[in-house]
Amino acid sequence: METANILTGAGAAVVTTGLALSLTGALPVSFAEDRHEPIKDRALVAFHDQDVEWEECEDFYLTGLDCATVEVPLDYGAPEGERIDVGVSRRPAQGDEKERQGVLFTNPGGPGATGRITADEIGSTPLGQAYDVIGMDPRGLGASTWLDCEVDPPVLDTHPTDEEIEQIFDQRRQYAESCDEAESDQRPHFTTANTARDMDVVRAVLGEERIDYIGASYGTYLGAVYGTLFPERLDRAVLDSAVDPDGVWRENFLAQARATTDNVERYTDWLADRDDEFGLGATREEVVRSFEQTSERLREEPREAENGMIYDEDYFRSLVGISADDQGAWDESALVFEALVEETPLPEAPETPGDPDMPMPPEDPEEAEEQLERLDGPPHLLWAIHCEAEWPTDPDQYRADMREFRDAHAFGPAATQAGPPVCMFAEEQPTEPAVDLTREWETPALVIAGEFDSKTPYQGAANMADRLDSPLLTVVDDGRHVFYGSSVSDPEGEPLYPCVAEMVEAYLLDGQDPQDTSCHDRPRPGEDTP
């Protein structure tokens, strides 16, 4: 259930991980060389021909999947050099052999999200009947060779003072120095392009001539990079909640802040229309004033919920932004804000039916912790990916932008999204620039975008569709991020977005050519689906 994130506090993860954190970048650098020309297969024969041993996955959250480790070059410009590991999962097609349509590669986004678990997320949909669904932990995390800076990554404050802005500069400088010391030789090779090249090694190891692909969020960019580098290897691609290829990466973050504010305005208007129900204010301005007063109080006196969640100013401001995106749950999140504003007991999280088949962690706490570490971390890849792009070099521009975005976009991490990239302070720079996306593979992609998605704002997805000369499926009047997968479902397991699911499955399973169109599956509370 999506609303459980609001009521249990799990939604805080959006503040520190995912696309809100994942799109922050690097300086304009002098790249060693442009290596985007296709790497000749003969240089990678040893990798393509390696013997891989598939075994039942040992991690409890991968129950029912097969797992393997594939060796890839650290540096594809010198494949004879150091090797690293990439962890891969596979969910074999569940249908008859005559139904099988090959392999479907997946990526859940990030950058910095582990991918092996996505083989089950996508494989549990009807797509799993026809495809061997492949998940891959990108180089740098999970079951792949770790990129470990041996220090906690920077955090995103929501409303820093001028003094705290300087502390953010210091924090990012210290983080960059620690990464230089721990991983300076390896970090420049942890890029989207190299992750795409790793995917192609896995494809060859599987013995497949071509792949289909479904990626979400940052995974849309990874899929487009793969298609650009290996157009002869990609057939069909679903790009769910697509990244703006024209905004890699700084403009993506600034667009996120603006889109979050737009959603907060829609949400506070909705709350004002229901002042008799929630009592947060009769106008948008009154509701915002209630939120501002509450955030100031929580800055001085954080509130601890019964489940241990701490509601301080940062979390409260982030929660407003997160809740504004999810209009299908506005009525439930409004109850939380009513309790926080009025200082009354918080509502209990709704009970959800338990799944008797849900795999449980090992009883040994050390083993359980080790397995969960492979699911959650380490968190440094996303900061390395930022180094692919060109960013401004003037520190004062970032200071000015942080102050401007702090004042103009009060809810969500806008101020720190406008801040300096870690790579501003790093010694080692990437070995190649970001990939200039083109579509030379034959079949148009299916690009999906929510009209009010703040993590990958709508115009950016439209830009991706234009760049790839592919149709755009618009989810109308919706701020959700990611629209397809087994977890995007109601308590009965039915898709929350049946129109989207139908189009994705018709495209991948039936080969129907996608068209520009729209869906409106999930109305605001109290409204009917058109």
pLDDT, one tens digit per residue, over 303-328 is: 999 889 999 999 999 999 999 999 98
Residue 508 has pLDDT above 90, yes or no: yes
Strands 303-304 and 310-311: antiparallel
What's the rounded Cα separation, in Å, for the pair 67 and 164?
45
Closest C-alpha to 309, from 7, 1, 4: 7
Residue 50 has pLDDT above 80, yes or no: yes
Q: What string of H, E and C letters represents the secondary structure of 343-381?
A: CCCCCCCCCCCCCCCCCCCCCCHHHHHHHHHHHHCCCCH
Please give the model's pTM, rounded to 2 decimal places: 0.91
**Superfamily for 42-152+186-250+436-519?**
Alpha/Beta hydrolase fold, catalytic domain (3.40.50.1820)
* Distances, alpha carbon 473 to alpha carbons 372, 411, 440, in Å: 35, 28, 21
Which three-class secondary structure state does DSSP give residue 457? Answer: coil
Percent of the chain with pLDDT over 90: 74
Name the residue ranges covered by the structural domains of the chain.
42-152+186-250+436-519, 251-342
Residue 108 has pLDDT above 60, yes or no: yes
Residue 10 has pLDDT above 50, yes or no: no
| pLDDT for the residue numbered 52 | 96
pLDDT, one tens digit per residue, over 146-194 is: 999 989 888 878 899 999 999 999 999 999 999 999 888 899 999 999 9
Contact criterion met (CB below 8 Å) for 396 and 126: no
Closest C-alpha to 335, from 291, 280, 290, 380: 280
Angle at the Cα of 482 (from 479 to 488), degrees rounded to 5?
Answer: 105
Angle at the Cα of 270 (from 266 to 273), degrees rounded to 5?
Answer: 140
Q: Give me the amino acid identity at 3.
A: T
pLDDT band for position 378 (50/70/90)? confident
